[in-house]
Protein backbone atom coordinates (compact mmCIF):
# COMPACT_ATOMS: atom_id res chain seq x y z
CA UNK A 1 0.00 0.00 0.00
CA UNK A 2 1.36 3.43 -0.88
CA UNK A 3 1.51 6.37 1.60
CA UNK A 4 -1.57 8.03 0.05
CA UNK A 5 -3.82 4.99 0.67
CA UNK A 6 -2.38 4.36 4.10
CA UNK A 7 -3.21 8.00 5.02
CA UNK A 8 -6.73 7.58 3.65
CA UNK A 9 -7.33 4.49 5.82
CA UNK A 10 -6.06 6.29 8.90
CA UNK A 11 -8.42 9.22 8.17
CA UNK A 12 -11.40 6.84 7.72
CA UNK A 13 -10.53 5.09 10.98
CA UNK A 14 -10.28 8.38 12.90
CA UNK A 15 -13.67 9.64 11.60
CA UNK A 16 -15.36 6.32 12.48
CA UNK A 17 -13.81 6.32 15.97
CA UNK A 18 -14.95 9.93 16.55
CA UNK A 19 -18.55 9.08 15.55
CA UNK A 20 -18.62 6.00 17.84
CA UNK A 21 -17.17 7.90 20.83
CA UNK A 22 -19.52 10.88 20.39
CA UNK A 23 -22.57 8.53 20.12
CA UNK A 24 -21.54 6.65 23.26
CA UNK A 25 -21.19 9.98 25.13
CA UNK A 26 -24.75 11.02 24.28
CA UNK A 27 -26.23 8.62 26.89
CA UNK A 28 -29.65 7.06 26.73
CA UNK A 29 -32.73 9.05 25.60
CA UNK A 30 -34.02 8.81 29.20
CA UNK A 31 -30.85 10.50 30.49
CA UNK A 32 -31.09 13.22 27.86
CA UNK A 33 -34.68 13.97 28.95
CA UNK A 34 -34.04 14.14 32.71
CA UNK A 35 -35.43 17.51 33.81
CA UNK A 36 -33.71 19.47 36.56
CA UNK A 37 -36.04 19.93 39.59
CA UNK A 38 -35.16 22.09 42.58
CA UNK A 39 -38.46 21.64 44.48
CA UNK A 40 -38.84 23.79 47.61
CA UNK A 41 -36.06 26.35 47.81
CA UNK A 42 -35.42 29.29 50.13
CA UNK A 43 -34.57 32.69 48.63
CA UNK A 44 -31.19 32.34 50.36
CA UNK A 45 -30.40 29.17 48.39
CA UNK A 46 -31.96 30.53 45.18
CA UNK A 47 -29.19 33.14 45.19
CA UNK A 48 -26.68 30.30 44.62
CA UNK A 49 -28.24 29.69 41.19
CA UNK A 50 -27.10 32.95 39.64
CA UNK A 51 -24.73 31.55 37.03
CA UNK A 52 -21.42 31.91 38.83
CA UNK A 53 -21.30 28.17 39.54
CA UNK A 54 -21.27 26.50 36.12
CA UNK A 55 -22.31 23.18 37.63
CA UNK A 56 -25.68 24.69 38.59
CA UNK A 57 -28.51 25.92 36.34
CA UNK A 58 -29.52 29.58 36.34
CA UNK A 59 -32.83 30.10 38.15
CA UNK A 60 -35.23 33.03 38.40
CA UNK A 61 -38.40 33.23 40.53
CA UNK A 62 -41.59 35.06 39.59
CA UNK A 63 -44.13 35.30 42.40
CA UNK A 64 -42.43 32.35 44.05
CA UNK A 65 -42.51 30.11 40.97
CA UNK A 66 -38.96 29.07 40.05
CA UNK A 67 -37.95 28.89 36.38
CA UNK A 68 -34.82 27.35 34.85
CA UNK A 69 -33.55 30.08 32.51
CA UNK A 70 -30.19 28.44 31.75
CA UNK A 71 -30.97 28.26 28.05
CA UNK A 72 -31.07 32.07 28.03
CA UNK A 73 -27.64 32.36 29.66
CA UNK A 74 -26.79 34.93 27.00
CA UNK A 75 -29.23 37.26 28.84
CA UNK A 76 -29.13 36.01 32.47
CA UNK A 77 -25.53 34.79 32.75
CA UNK A 78 -22.69 36.71 34.44
CA UNK A 79 -21.96 40.00 32.67
CA UNK A 80 -25.16 39.80 30.62
CA UNK A 81 -27.95 42.44 30.64
CA UNK A 82 -30.38 40.53 32.92
CA UNK A 83 -27.80 38.97 35.21
CA UNK A 84 -29.25 41.01 38.09
CA UNK A 85 -32.38 38.80 37.79
CA UNK A 86 -30.47 35.53 38.14
CA UNK A 87 -30.99 33.80 41.48
CA UNK A 88 -33.67 36.26 42.54
CA UNK A 89 -37.42 36.85 42.82
CA UNK A 90 -38.19 39.28 39.99
CA UNK A 91 -41.97 39.83 39.90
CA UNK A 92 -41.74 43.46 40.95
CA UNK A 93 -38.73 44.11 38.72
CA UNK A 94 -40.57 42.64 35.70
CA UNK A 95 -43.68 44.71 36.42
CA UNK A 96 -41.58 47.87 36.58
CA UNK A 97 -39.14 46.85 33.81
CA UNK A 98 -36.48 47.53 36.38
CA UNK A 99 -33.10 46.20 37.39
CA UNK A 100 -33.08 48.50 40.41
CA UNK A 101 -31.89 46.71 43.55
CA UNK A 102 -34.93 48.08 45.42
CA UNK A 103 -37.25 46.12 43.07
CA UNK A 104 -35.17 42.95 42.83
CA UNK A 105 -35.86 40.21 45.33
CA UNK A 106 -39.28 41.69 46.07
CA UNK A 107 -42.68 40.20 45.32
CA UNK A 108 -44.40 43.26 46.81
CA UNK A 109 -47.04 44.04 44.19
CA UNK A 110 -49.85 45.85 45.98
CA UNK A 111 -48.79 49.30 44.79
CA UNK A 112 -48.53 48.46 41.08
CA UNK A 113 -50.48 50.52 38.56
CA UNK A 114 -52.70 48.91 35.88
CA UNK A 115 -49.98 49.16 33.23
CA UNK A 116 -47.39 47.54 35.51
CA UNK A 117 -49.78 44.76 36.50
CA UNK A 118 -50.50 44.03 32.85
CA UNK A 119 -46.75 44.02 32.05
CA UNK A 120 -46.25 41.45 34.81
CA UNK A 121 -49.08 39.26 33.48
CA UNK A 122 -47.47 39.29 30.04
CA UNK A 123 -44.06 38.48 31.50
CA UNK A 124 -45.50 35.56 33.50
CA UNK A 125 -47.14 34.16 30.33
CA UNK A 126 -43.83 34.52 28.52
CA UNK A 127 -41.85 32.77 31.28
CA UNK A 128 -44.48 30.00 31.42
CA UNK A 129 -44.19 29.38 27.71
CA UNK A 130 -40.40 29.72 27.42
CA UNK A 131 -38.95 28.15 30.55
CA UNK A 132 -39.42 25.01 32.64
CA UNK A 133 -40.93 25.60 36.08
CA UNK A 134 -38.63 23.67 38.41
CA UNK A 135 -39.70 24.56 41.95
CA UNK A 136 -41.12 27.12 44.33
CA UNK A 137 -39.66 29.56 46.82
CA UNK A 138 -40.61 28.71 50.38
CA UNK A 139 -39.99 30.77 53.51
CA UNK A 140 -37.17 29.77 55.82
CA UNK A 141 -38.32 27.42 58.59
CA UNK A 142 -37.74 28.31 62.20
CA UNK A 143 -36.79 25.31 64.30
CA UNK A 144 -35.95 24.99 67.97
CA UNK A 145 -33.00 22.75 68.95
CA UNK A 146 -35.55 20.12 70.06
CA UNK A 147 -37.24 20.21 66.65
CA UNK A 148 -33.88 20.13 64.87
CA UNK A 149 -33.01 16.97 66.81
CA UNK A 150 -35.90 15.26 64.98
CA UNK A 151 -33.93 15.49 61.71
CA UNK A 152 -31.00 13.30 62.70
CA UNK A 153 -31.88 10.35 60.51
CA UNK A 154 -34.05 8.31 62.92
CA UNK A 155 -36.88 8.38 60.39
CA UNK A 156 -35.51 7.55 56.89
CA UNK A 157 -38.45 9.32 55.23
CA UNK A 158 -37.42 12.67 56.80
CA UNK A 159 -34.59 14.89 55.57
CA UNK A 160 -31.36 15.33 57.54
CA UNK A 161 -30.59 18.79 58.92
CA UNK A 162 -27.76 20.38 60.85
CA UNK A 163 -27.13 23.95 61.96
CA UNK A 164 -24.02 26.09 61.76
CA UNK A 165 -24.19 29.34 63.75
CA UNK A 166 -27.98 29.15 63.66
CA UNK A 167 -28.31 28.57 59.92
CA UNK A 168 -29.99 25.24 59.17
CA UNK A 169 -28.80 23.24 56.16
CA UNK A 170 -30.54 20.28 54.54
CA UNK A 171 -27.68 17.77 54.46
CA UNK A 172 -29.77 14.87 53.09
CA UNK A 173 -27.52 14.40 50.09
CA UNK A 174 -24.63 13.79 52.52
CA UNK A 175 -26.54 10.93 54.20
CA UNK A 176 -23.49 8.69 53.84
CA UNK A 177 -21.60 11.07 56.17
CA UNK A 178 -24.35 12.09 58.58
CA UNK A 179 -27.00 9.36 58.56
CA UNK A 180 -27.25 6.63 61.21
CA UNK A 181 -24.50 4.66 59.42
CA UNK A 182 -22.34 7.74 58.83
CA UNK A 183 -19.10 8.67 60.58
CA UNK A 184 -20.05 12.18 61.76
CA UNK A 185 -22.45 12.86 64.66
CA UNK A 186 -23.66 16.25 63.41
CA UNK A 187 -27.18 15.59 62.04
CA UNK A 188 -29.95 17.15 64.13
CA UNK A 189 -27.50 19.40 65.97
CA UNK A 190 -25.94 22.85 66.01
CA UNK A 191 -22.31 21.99 65.32
CA UNK A 192 -20.40 25.27 64.90
CA UNK A 193 -18.03 24.52 67.78
CA UNK A 194 -17.33 20.94 66.67
CA UNK A 195 -16.56 22.04 63.10
CA UNK A 196 -14.31 24.88 64.30
CA UNK A 197 -12.38 22.45 66.51
CA UNK A 198 -12.40 19.65 63.87
CA UNK A 199 -13.97 17.52 66.57
CA UNK A 200 -16.39 14.66 66.24
CA UNK A 201 -17.09 14.68 69.98
CA UNK A 202 -20.84 15.08 70.57
CA UNK A 203 -20.10 17.33 73.56
CA UNK A 204 -18.66 19.87 71.10
CA UNK A 205 -21.86 19.92 69.03
CA UNK A 206 -23.13 23.31 70.13
CA UNK A 207 -23.05 26.93 69.07
CA UNK A 208 -20.74 28.14 71.84
CA UNK A 209 -17.68 29.71 70.23
CA UNK A 210 -16.13 30.98 73.48
CA UNK A 211 -12.39 30.51 73.80
CA UNK A 212 -11.84 29.74 70.12
CA UNK A 213 -8.90 31.39 68.42
CA UNK A 214 -8.39 32.95 65.01
CA UNK A 215 -7.38 29.65 63.37
CA UNK A 216 -10.45 27.80 64.62
CA UNK A 217 -12.80 30.61 63.59
CA UNK A 218 -11.14 30.56 60.17
CA UNK A 219 -11.72 26.81 59.90
CA UNK A 220 -15.35 27.40 60.81
CA UNK A 221 -15.67 30.04 58.10
CA UNK A 222 -14.33 27.55 55.56
CA UNK A 223 -16.92 24.98 56.66
CA UNK A 224 -19.69 27.57 56.35
CA UNK A 225 -18.55 28.37 52.81
CA UNK A 226 -18.43 24.66 51.91
CA UNK A 227 -21.90 23.99 53.31
CA UNK A 228 -23.36 27.06 51.61
CA UNK A 229 -22.14 25.76 48.26
CA UNK A 230 -23.10 22.13 48.75
CA UNK A 231 -26.33 22.19 50.79
CA UNK A 232 -29.60 24.18 50.66
CA UNK A 233 -30.32 26.52 53.56
CA UNK A 234 -33.80 25.68 54.81
CA UNK A 235 -34.15 27.66 58.01
CA UNK A 236 -32.82 29.22 61.15
CA UNK A 237 -32.48 27.94 64.67
CA UNK A 238 -34.59 29.71 67.29
CA UNK A 239 -34.50 29.54 71.07
CA UNK A 240 -35.96 26.35 72.43
CA UNK A 241 -37.85 25.41 75.54
CA UNK A 242 -34.74 24.32 77.45
Task: Verify binding: residue 232, ligand HEM, rule CB under 6 A.
Answer: no
Shortest separation between residue 173's beta carbon and ligand HEM, angstroms = 8
Shortest separation between residue 87's beta carbon and ligand HEM, angstroms = 22
210: left (phi over 0), alpha (psi -120 to 50) or beta: beta
Distances (CA, A) of 212 to 26, 163, 193, 197, 217: 51, 18, 8, 8, 7
Between 200 and 236, name the residue whose CB sits nearer to ligand HEM: 200
Distance CA 155, CA 151 (A): 8
Torsions phi, psi for 137 (to 5 deg): -80, 130
Shortest separation between residue 242's beta carbon and ligand HEM, angstroms = 25
Between 163 and 195, name the residue whose CB sits nearer to ligand HEM: 195
Between 148 and 195, name the residue whose CB sits nearer to ligand HEM: 195
Task: Verify binding: residue 52, ligand HEM, rule CB under 6 A.
Answer: no
Distances (CA, A) of 154 to 119, 148, 149, 160: 49, 12, 10, 9
Shortest separation between residue 163's beta carbon and ligand HEM, angstroms = 13
Q: What x-and-dash track marks residues 175-194 binding ligand HEM by CB under 6 A?
A: --x------x---------x
What residues have CB less than 8 Å from 138, skipping those under 6 apart? 40, 41, 42
Between 65 and 193, name the residue whose CB sits nearer to ligand HEM: 193
Task: Verify binding: residue 228, ligand HEM, rule CB under 6 A.
Answer: no
**Residue 231 CA to chain centroid, in angstroms?**
7
Task: Verify binding: residue 174, ligand HEM, rule CB under 6 A.
Answer: yes
Distance CA 151, CA 111 (A): 41
Task: Verify binding: residue 200, ligand HEM, rule CB under 6 A.
Answer: yes
Interaction site with ligand HEM (CB under 6 A): 174, 177, 184, 194-195, 198-200, 230
Amino acid sequence: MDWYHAGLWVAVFLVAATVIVSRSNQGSPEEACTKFEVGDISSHTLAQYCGYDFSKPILVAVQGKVYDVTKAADRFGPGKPLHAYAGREVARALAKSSIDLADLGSSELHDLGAEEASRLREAVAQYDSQYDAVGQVVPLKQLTPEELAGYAGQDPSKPLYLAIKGTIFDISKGRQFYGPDGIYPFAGKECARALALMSTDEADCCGNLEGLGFTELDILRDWEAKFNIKYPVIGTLVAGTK
